[in-house]
Amino acid sequence: MFPAATSRDRLIYIMDLGVLTRVYLLHAAILAPFVLAALVPAIRKGTKKIHTGWIVLILPVLLFLNFLRYLPVVRNDVSETFSLPWIPSLGINFTVYLDGLGLLFALLITGIGALVVLYSIYYLNPEQEAIHRFYLYLLLFMGAMLGIVLSDNMIVLYTFWELTSISSFLLIAFWYERDRSRYGALKSMLITVFGGFAMLAGFVVLHHMTGTWSIRETIAMVGNVQGHPLFLLAMILILLGAFTKSAQFPFHIWLPDAMEAPTPVSAYLHSATMVKAGIYLVARFSPVFAGQAEWFWIVSLVGIITMCYGSILAVKQTDLKALLAYSTISQLGLIMSLFGAGSAAVYYGYGEESMIYTAATMAAIFHLVNHATFKGALFMVAGIVDHETGTRDIRRLGGLISLMPISFTVACISGFSMAGVPPFNGYLSKEMFLEAMVELTHLHIFELGTWGILFPILAFLGSVFTFVYSMILIFKTFRGPLQKEKLGITPHEAPAGMLISPVILAVCVVVLGLFPNVLSYSIIEPAMRSVLPSLVAPGEHFDVHISFWHGFTPALFMTMGVIVLGTVLYLLLNRWKGIYAIYPDKLSWNHMYDSLLRYGEKASRMLTDAYMNRSARNYLVYIFGFMVIVLGAALWRADVLSLMTPDTAPINIYEIVLIALLVISAVAVPFARQRLIAVIMTGAVGYLVTLFFVLFRAPDLALTQMIIETVSVVLFLLCFYHMPELRREVSSRKYRSLNIIIAVSVGVVVTLISLSASGSSSFESIADYFVKNSHDLGGGDNVVNVILVDFRGFDTMLEITVLGIASLGIYSMIQLQLQGRDAGARILYLHRKVTLAPKVPIGRTRKETATVAKNMKQFKSNDVILETSTKVIVFIILTFALYLFFAGHNNPGGGFVGGLMASSALVLLALAFNAETVRRVLPLDYRDIMAAGLSVAYLTAIGSFVFGAPFLSHAFGYFDIPFLGKTELATALIFDLGVFLTVLGVTMTIILQIGEDR
Amino acid sequence: MEVWMSIAIGILFAVAVYLILSRSLLRIILGTSILTHGVHLLLLTMSRLKTGAPPLLGEESGTYVDPLPQALILTSIVINFGVTAFFFVLAYRSYIRLKTDDMEEVKRKGGQ
Which B residues, 11 through 70, put their C-beta within 8 Å of a C-beta on chain A? 11-15, 17-27, 30, 33-34, 37-38, 40-42, 44-58, 64-68, 70
pLDDT at A515 over 90: no
| pLDDT tens digit sequence for A711-750 | 888 888 888 777 777 777 677 788 888 889 999 999 999 9
Rg (CA), chain A: 37
Range of the domain at B65: 1-111
CB contact under 8 A, B2 and A983: no
Which residues have a Cβ under 8 Å from the Cβ of A99 and sit 6 or more positions away?
A: A74, A79, A526, A529, A530
Cβ under 8 Å to B: A residues 306-365: none
How far is it, in rounded angstroms, from Cα A272 to Cα A380? 12
Give the integer Cα–Cα distance in Å for A928 and A935. Answer: 10
3-state secondary structure of A777: helix
The answer to whether residue B107 scores a pLDDT higher than 50 is: yes
A820 φ/ψ sector (left φ>0, alpha ψ -120 to 50, else beta): left
User: Residue B50 is nearest to which of A649, A746, A781, comparing CB atoms?
Assistant: A649
Residue A337 has pLDDT above 70, yes or no: yes
φ/ψ of residue A662, rounded to 5: -60, -50
Query: What local confidence, expressed as pLDDT, does residue B14 receive?
Result: 95
Residue of A nearest to B83 (CA): A806
Give the SS3 label for residue A480.
coil
**What is the H or E stretch that residue A879 is in?**
helix A864-887
Neighbour tally for A774: CB within 10 Å:
26
Average pLDDT over residues A142-153: 91
Reported as a pLDDT band with limits 50, 70 and 90, residue A139 is: very high
For the ranges A153-162, A413-422, A641-650, the lowest mean pLDDT is seen at: A641-650
Nearest to A970 by CA among A910, A900, A894: A894
Residue in A317, A470, A485, A490 with CA at minimum distance from that of residue A404: A490
For residue B79, give the nearest of A650, A686, A799 by CB distance.
A799
A225 touches chain B (CB under 8 A): no
Count of structural domains, chain B? 1
Per-residue confidence band for A651, with pLDDT thresholds at 50, 70 and 90: confident
> In whole angstroms, what is the distance from residue A483 CA to residue A157 CA?
49
Taking all residues of chain A, what is their mean pLDDT, rounded to a whole number?
A: 83
Does B16 score more than 90 pLDDT? yes
Separation in Å, CA of B91 to nearest CA in chain A: 8
Q: What are the b/e assignments for A614-633, b being 16+ CB within 10 Å?
A: eebbeebbeebeebbeeeee
Closest-CA residue of A relative to B71 is A784
Interval A838-893: pLDDT, tens: 444 444 444 444 444 444 444 555 678 888 888 888 899 999 999 888 888 788 88
Return the pLDDT at A771: 81
Strand A965-970 and strand A956-961: pairing? Answer: antiparallel
Segment A537-553 shows an average pLDDT of: 75
**Position A10 confidence tier, pLDDT thresholds 50, 70, 90:** very low
Q: Which of A751, A763, A831 to mutate to test the interface with B (most CBs of B within 10 A)?
A: A751
pLDDT in tens, A972-998: 888 889 999 999 999 988 888 887 775
Using pLDDT thresholds of 50, 70 and 90, give the confidence band for residue A145: very high
Q: How many helices (H) and strands (E) does chain A have?
A: 44, 4
Q: What percent of chain A has pLDDT above 90?
A: 25
CA A997 to chain CA mean position, Å = 42
What's the CATH number where B5 sits? 1.10.287
Q: Give the per-residue pLDDT at A649.
A: 72
- Mean pLDDT across chain B: 85
Tell me how crowded residue A547 is: count the other CB atoms within 10 A of its CB.
8
Which pLDDT band holds residue A40 (cuts at 50, 70, 90)?
confident
How close, in Å, is residue A788 to chain B by CA atoms? 6
Determine how β-strand A956-961 pairs with β-strand A92-98.
Answer: unpaired
- Arithmetic mean of pLDDT, A448-453: 74
Element holding A571 (H helix, E strand): helix A554-571
pLDDT at A991: 86
CA R_g for chain B:
19
CA distance A819 to chain B (A): 14
Residue with the bigger pLDDT between A853 and A640: it is: A640
The answer, yes or no, to whether residue A21 has pLDDT greater than 60, is: no
Instruction: Quote the CA–CA distance of A257 and A329 in Å, as a whole number.
Output: 12
**A118 neighbors A495 (Cβ within 8 angstroms):** no
State the pLDDT at residue A541: 77
Report pLDDT for A50. Answer: 80
pLDDT number for residue B1: 80
Please tell me which residue, A987 or A546, carries the higher pLDDT value.
A987
Chain-chain contact of B33 with A682 (C-beta, under 8 angstroms): yes
Instruction: Tally A–B CB contacts below 8 A.
Output: 301
Query: Is A405's pLDDT higher than 60?
Result: yes
B48: alpha, beta or left? (left if phi > 0; alpha if psi -120 to 50): left
Cβ atoms within 10 Å of A272's Cβ, excluding its own: 26
Higher-pLDDT residue of A780, A61: A61
Enter the DSSP assignment of A5: -
Instruction: Quote the CA–CA distance of A636 and A922 in Å, as a whole number.
Output: 58
Of B40, B42, B95, Cβ closest to residue A724: B95
Q: Tell me phi and psi for residue A684, to 5 degrees.
A: -60, -40
- For testing the chain A interface, which of B29, B30, B47, B90 should be mutated: the one with the most A CBs within 10 Å? B30
Q: In this complex, do B77 and A704 lie within 8 Å of one another by their Cβ atoms? A: yes
Q: Which residue has the higher pLDDT, A77 or A794?
A: A794
pLDDT at A223 (0 to 100): 80
Interface of A with B in 721-780 (CB under 8 A): 722-724, 726-727, 729, 731, 739-740, 742-744, 746-748, 750-751, 753-755, 757-759, 765-767, 770-771, 774-775
pLDDT, tens digit (0-9, with 9 covering 90-100), for A157-207 = 999 999 999 999 999 999 888 888 999 999 999 999 999 999 999 999 999
In 3D space, the residue among A317, A921, A875, A909 whose CA is nearest the CA of residue A573 turns out to be: A317
Report the predicted TM-score, pTM, of the whole model to 2 decimal places.
0.71
Reduced DSSP (H G I as helix, E B as strand, rest coil) percent helix, strand, coil of chain A, to 5? 75, 5, 25
Give the residue on A whose Cα is nearest the Cα of B30.
A682
Residue bearing the bigger pLDDT, A973 or A963: A973
Backbone angles phi, psi at A452, to 5 degrees: -60, -25
Residue A16 has pLDDT above 70, yes or no: no
Contact B78/A766, CB-based, under 8 Å?
Answer: no
pLDDT at A909 over 60: yes
- Which residues of chain B lie closer than 8 angstroms to A668, CB-CB? none
Q: What is the pLDDT of residue A644?
A: 62
- Return d(Cα A327, Cα A343) in angstroms, integer: 25
**Res A100: pLDDT:** 86
CB atoms within 10 A of CB A492: 11
Quote the minimal CA–CA distance from B60 to chain A in Å.
10
Torsion of CA A856, A858, A863, A868, to 10 degrees: -60
Asked whether the predicted pLDDT for residue A568 surpasses 80, the reply is yes
Q: Report which secondary-structure segment, H or E, holds A325.
A: helix A320-347
What is the distance in angstroms between the Cα of A748 and the nearest Cα belonging to chain B? 6
Mapping DSSP onto H, E and C, the string for chain B reads: CHHHHHHHHHHHHHHHHHHHCCCEHHHHHHHHHHHHHHHHHHHHHHCCCCCCECCEHHHCCCCECCHHHHHHHHHHHHHHHHHHHHHHHHHHHHHHHHCCCEHHHHHHHHCC
Q: Choose among A143, A15, A162, A128: nearest CA to A80.
A: A15
- Give the highest mean pLDDT range of A68-77, A312-321, A532-541: A312-321
Judge whether residue B65 has pLDDT over 80.
Answer: yes
Q: Which residue of B has its CA nearest to A763?
A: B47
Q: How confident is the model at residue A710 (pLDDT cuts 50, 70, 90)?
A: confident
Q: At what angle do helices A926-943 and A793-818 cross, to 10 degrees?
A: 150
Backbone angles phi, psi at A86, to 5 degrees: -120, -70
Interface with chain A: mutation pick from B15, B40, B89, B112, highest number of A CBs within 10 Å? B89
A813-828 residue pLDDT tens? 888 765 655 555 545 5
